[in-house]
Structure 1
């Protein structure tokens, strides 16, 4: 009985493995190690150790190994020093090396035998070229130059075409070569956006090739289709970089892959590419995989020096462990519910001529159930009304805001609308906050609008340097303040007949000041209240208007200005009519006789004069001044609050609000970086925010808004993105020759034609030219637009499917 088993390789981890023709033996190779094991029912038996001689050890740093499919005696290895070693197990003696090919100077990444010819051996290296060796001769092999300096990571012969091979490289391209022609590839296309590490031809389907790379995707291609803009037939998103891809035998739509940083081996169904069909677990990263000619058996090696034999019955089924029910809420109050939809069972079949009631129902296999798995998605939205209404359903109360009366917008439309209407510069800070607050409200983002209002309040008038004397401070140099209009809040005897207004001492203030001055005072008072460093809030809000005016609020001790000065008592006597207190306002109590801490305030009433003894520290309220010689007050720092707010928006997926608020706070006022905002967010985090927002705008094709965000970013790594990749060389649409000369834009020297010819009207384009990046044909913008609206193929007649 076949079962899952493993063996520990003592020498070193294996970098690669391969099976012989009858799948009874496996060869594993690594650093200073190369062994052959026999695959038994319950264990692995070591048959050969090819690293036993001094000569063989020098050629033992193997990067890849392959067993000849036509001759069980031949094995080839690719070394890290650029050599290709041919091993012959039929040689008598301890050393089994037959030939060493040293055509390459850099690491060999992949070696492979021809599926039909045992003497043809191909090798791909980091030098960007491939060599085809004839193992019967010692001559250098044929060189296939890819015309790039990118490493060739995998080479595979097409089992359905005698002369064709596929090569993948680190520039993300896939090339199809004819081994009879070494000067250029017959077909090349860009398959991945990053290096491609592996490829594998389908064993049954002709022209079917699977590739995988660093972009965490596996793509299946139909190589019979032409065109440079090749589109994949299937795409599978994986969790990590793809290291190896192998088609599953006898299963047309199944393949397995191992990752570069993940320890598991996943088996995928290309018809259901979102969850793996099966999973084999390892303790460390799997370095190579191979099927044992049976769809239920696999062999693999890993970096923990383990050789494992997997049986499909012991595999983990991620689809069975997945939660079949999902529930989610949106910011607009929508509820989304997803559940599994069970497939309908096939109808029972009656046997012809059988007994009545004898029916046969074919049971569904696990693979069929996995592929037939479907889900149902339901979205429940709150019914919109014109006005704000409240509906009650049982114990749940739903409130519809007037802002929700408009039609619901998708997330993409919200991002587009906010990006278009937000203002991030060329205006004052208050104007930017007001405009962005209005836009956020219009887009039904009340919490974002409230944040803009709070930021405006915290930073309003923060750039003013005007000094305002507060109550309780000792004013030195009285003549300096007598002519100041703000002195009106400290002496109310000159304007008792005017309309009273709230101030620090609770007295009346002059109404002769202009409206603009009152607005400035109110703005400054609002800012001081938000910062918590003013006494006006104490006197006016906590104690009420005029409640402490009779208690001598002006004579509270200032910790910055010292004790009570001489000028303050005179002011108290001069403003005696403002501090007139009835006799009934005070209950009879014993006089405080402690020396040195009392002072007498003479309060003139209408009928008589009363002397009231008041303690210096009547209240525990201490008023801090803003112009004292020693400023030691603790002002609330808004930096941590702003930092926490920006991080909250970014962590909850609203990167647009986080970046916009940072720009307005840091660089939105005068186009220069605000020194107070330096260090508000770490540069690494800030760079990630900006790049994410720019990528989001570019995906939505809002390139102008993305360019504006790049320009306003204070980081040099992001701000200089506009200076990169701005130079390109045009090519001739007929022959593909690069037009590098200054006078070669209107004329191609190779084909003697004008490359800027409109494919629709066949006239020379002497203005704005648009062309297809796939086939190179184009013409006048208006002509191409009219053509693409009616036709899907290139107007030049090349057969390419252009995407304008």
Structure 2
């Protein structure tokens, strides 16, 4: 004897209760008045009476010699005769059970026409002697209980039939679903061919159910985790509603007296029974979570607030709506989202809608109170109303426009670094991104070569002397030898004229190789002369200093007249550094001067004083390090800019501007990439590529992938981009060639030229009006002489 139980909740509408049976339940069905329920499975076949206090077992039909005939895949109670049951067995038998038999074995009629497992049996809703069954072999058979024979066989294909059901409103019509995802509508008067066939699901379609009130509505479910509601107009099916679930759906059942409510159970993973409002496709209206294993069957009683369910956990439950869980009560009622174009969408709750209860609003009638029926059944849960507001961005210069223009006009490779930074700065400035433009300018200053100006010493050092007091170039004396390149501390190696008249004056023309420089770029002796000018003296520009001034300055600081040699006690000019102590008569050694300058410089922490770096040779005397003259043109402070650049890139990425971060990484290349984590680089590159793809800038996205040195990002261009087309006749995939079908049954040419009737293996030109086409040259030649389509369809084509 099975045991029953309940959750102790009493209600006038019923109570939640359950009973444990002897095995997993595959199907269940109820009698005409819903007072009894039969459960069937591989090891269970029992009938229970539904009472107020629980389930009471009535009959156990597994008696006598147990065979595969008792292993039931489906069961259905006769809609008009309470003593008849029909089952489909795993061995292919369809069995009729008569409960009025006195003997222990209630088996009455056995049909052995199916060769494989029977998945579904169904009685005709009005014709009591017709029984329909569908099997794993793809065949459907109609049996007549009077003749006890199979009257008709319907072969819809080779795929197994999962579910079938007669239409409650059209006498001769029934629908069936199969493993290929198709829905077939049949007229059982014609067994040779179905009326209509439609692709409903991407994968097997497991169940269907006709709507009890809407004559044209049909609900289907399948492995693609979708419940679809179709409207049939006797010609084709139109998709009305779509419900998305979290797992594949095995069974669906419309809720009585509720037009938009449908119950579903999953085939795997999900162990709950969900009741959906098809107008809200992503969240269930109510959820029942009593089962501990997959639910295999759902059955509504006459009351829309009570239904039965059976599962693989050997449990039979009666569910009451007042005990259900409502996911919408725990869901966040507020949402906000921003589109890529800057539009803002805001959803918020508008409160509860007022649902008038009609429990006491009975129509005037003389029928007994127990027979009265309300016009609208009161609902246990109230629907929530929500409001959706969309705020459109009215600015003319949207961020999306700026993003696209920058992506199109940025140059990230193919030119010198300084030119790339300058060009990108102009692009950003022209689009109003002034901070980004300033960033590009700073990068150009940080990483470009800071060479000394050519105007610093434009003449060769051998010619900077007073011609009246110093010997000429042709006069070589032992006391004043000619200076060599290794002896003179040249700041510029650019050749310039030795003619003193070539020196430009205030109002004259400058040399082509010269450039105007600021006071800070003047040689230290020029700056000193300018600082010593009296208040009454007229200031002189740097080009107004004569060779005599240069000679006097050099002699004062220990250089010989011809710059060929150095005084024995030379000193590094103190004007180039901030004085920290009194200068003694004996000049310090070069090493001491270097240490003092290194310690006293305010940027000592930012300067790399490695001996291998050219910038450190500024503090080395020319006589002790002759190679310094060749390296002054590459003079550059090696400031550690990497931490600053890295902080700036993270700032732009945090602001959502991954475009700037990725563009700078590409332009800087190895200067900064080794300082950034590979995972961070991949995240930035993938985000930027995703944004480019959303704006349909696929060519630019491909260029970014190509310029990236990250291995995971570079693999995006190495993945296969082949798209296989299908044959326009047999719908098979074209794997080998795109112009001929390789299927053994079809072997047809897919794209033939309308002029020469040969396959088009290259570019295919076609008319958008009649869809006929062919080789480009053939179509062009034809339409130059004939205005109509070469196929004779009568369409006037035009080649553009």
* TM-score (norm: length of structure 1): 0.55
Is 1:36 matched with 2:51?
no
1:88 pairs with 93, 97, 102, which one?
Answer: 97
User: What SS does the aligned partner of 1:723 have?
Assistant: coil
User: What SS does the aligned partner of 1:282 have?
Assistant: coil
1:377 pairs with 372, 389, 404, which one?
Answer: 389
Q: 2:130: which partner in 1?
A: 120
**Displacement of 1:281:** 2.9
Cα distance change, pair 623–666 in 1 and its aligned pair in 2 (3 A): closer
Q: 2:500: which partner in 1?
A: none
Q: 1:585: which partner in 2?
A: 580
Q: 1:234: which partner in 2?
A: 241
**Displacement of 1:200:** 0.5
CA contact (8 A) 1:18 1:66 kept: yes
User: What SS does the aligned partner of 1:236 have?
Assistant: strand
Q: 2:33: which partner in 1?
A: 22
Cα distance change, pair 421–186 in 1 and its aligned pair in 2 (3 A): farther
Is 1:291 matched with 2:290?
no
**Displacement of 1:124:** 3.3
**Displacement of 1:17:** 1.8
Q: 2:74: which partner in 1?
A: 64
Q: 1:110: which partner in 2?
A: 120
**Displacement of 1:140:** 6.3
Q: 1:259: which partner in 2?
A: 266
Count matched residues. 590
Q: Deviations over 1:148-177 (max 9, x none)?
A: 54x433211112122211122343322211
Question: Which residues of structure 1 form unaligned runs of 5+?
Answer: 347-361, 385-404, 465-490, 500-511, 516-570, 588-602, 629-633, 750-755, 770-776, 786-804
Is 1:609 matched with 2:587?
yes
User: What SS does the aligned partner of 2:238 have?
Assistant: coil
**Displacement of 1:309:** 0.6
Mapped partners of 1:433, 1:445: distance in 2: 14
Is 1:180 matched with 2:189?
yes
1:232-381 → structure 2 map (5 Å cutoff):
232-260=239-267, 261-271=269-279, 273=281, 275-284=283-292, 285-319=294-328, 324-326=333-335, 336=346, 338-340=348-350, 373=385, 375=387, 377=389, 379=391
Mapped partners of 2:381, 2:572: distance in 1: 95
Cα distance change, pair 13–336 in 1 and its aligned pair in 2 (3 A): same
**Displacement of 1:23:** 1.2
Q: 2:738: which partner in 1?
A: none
CA contact (8 A) 2:351 2:384 kept: no
Q: 2:626: which partner in 1?
A: none
Mapped partners of 1:445, 1:121: distance in 2: 76
Q: 1:146: which partner in 2?
A: 156
Cα distance change, pair 30–746 in 1 and its aligned pair in 2 (3 A): farther
Is 1:47 matched with 2:51?
no
Cα distance change, pair 132–719 in 1 and its aligned pair in 2 (3 A): farther
User: What SS does the aligned partner of 1:585 have?
Assistant: coil
2:200 pairs with 191, 199, 202, which one?
Answer: 191
CA contact (8 A) 1:114 1:121 kept: yes
User: What SS does the aligned partner of 1:313 have?
Assistant: helix
CA contact (8 A) 2:306 2:320 kept: yes
Cα RMSD between the aligned structures?
6.5
Mapped partners of 1:677, 1:126: distance in 2: 60
**Displacement of 1:98:** 4.5
CA contact (8 A) 2:47 2:60 kept: yes
Cα distance change, pair 584–324 in 1 and its aligned pair in 2 (3 A): closer
Q: Deviations over 1:282-318 (max 9, x none)?
A: 3444322110122121111234332211122333344
Structure with bigger gyration radius: 2
CA contact (8 A) 1:88 1:98 kept: yes
Mapped partners of 1:370, 1:379: distance in 2: 29
Cα distance change, pair 455–779 in 1 and its aligned pair in 2 (3 A): farther
CA contact (8 A) 2:263 2:274 kept: yes
Mapped partners of 1:429, 1:194: distance in 2: 56
User: What SS does the aligned partner of 2:322 have?
Assistant: helix
CA contact (8 A) 1:264 1:279 kept: yes
Is 1:12 matched with 2:19?
no
**Displacement of 1:220:** 1.8
Question: Which residues of structure 2 form unaligned runs of 5+?
Answer: 1-11, 357-373, 450-485, 495-510, 515-565, 614-639, 732-744, 758-764, 780-790
Mapped partners of 1:252, 1:162: distance in 2: 22
CA contact (8 A) 1:329 1:335 kept: yes
User: What SS does the aligned partner of 1:155 have?
Assistant: strand
Cα distance change, pair 374–119 in 1 and its aligned pair in 2 (3 A): same
Mapped partners of 1:626, 1:60: distance in 2: 95
CA contact (8 A) 2:349 2:385 kept: no
Q: 2:490: which partner in 1?
A: 495
Cα distance change, pair 200–333 in 1 and its aligned pair in 2 (3 A): closer
User: What SS does the aligned partner of 1:181 have?
Assistant: coil
CA contact (8 A) 1:711 1:719 kept: no
CA contact (8 A) 1:37 1:46 kept: yes
1:672-751 → structure 2 map (5 Å cutoff):
722-730=721-729, 740-741=748-749
CA contact (8 A) 1:35 1:49 kept: yes
CA contact (8 A) 2:296 2:310 kept: yes
1:406 pairs with 380, 396, 400, which one?
Answer: 396
Mapped partners of 1:31, 1:85: distance in 2: 15
CA contact (8 A) 2:24 2:311 kept: yes
Mapped partners of 1:407, 1:132: distance in 2: 69
**Displacement of 1:717:** 9.6
Q: 1:3: which partner in 2?
A: 14
Mapped partners of 1:766, 1:120: distance in 2: 55
**Displacement of 1:135:** 5.4
Mapped partners of 1:783, 1:367: distance in 2: 61
CA contact (8 A) 1:429 1:668 kept: no
CA contact (8 A) 2:753 2:775 kept: no
Q: Deviations over 1:79-110 (max 9, x none)?
A: 5x5524415143522474742636243x5443
Moved more, 250-259 or 707-716: 707-716
**Displacement of 1:325:** 4.8
**Displacement of 1:494:** 0.8
Mapped partners of 2:164, 2:431: distance in 1: 54
Cα distance change, pair 374–327 in 1 and its aligned pair in 2 (3 A): closer
**Displacement of 1:273:** 4.7
**Displacement of 1:33:** 2.6
Mapped partners of 1:125, 1:440: distance in 2: 69
**Displacement of 1:43:** 0.7
Cα distance change, pair 304–726 in 1 and its aligned pair in 2 (3 A): same
CA contact (8 A) 1:109 1:152 kept: yes
Cα distance change, pair 690–191 in 1 and its aligned pair in 2 (3 A): farther
Cα distance change, pair 83–445 in 1 and its aligned pair in 2 (3 A): farther
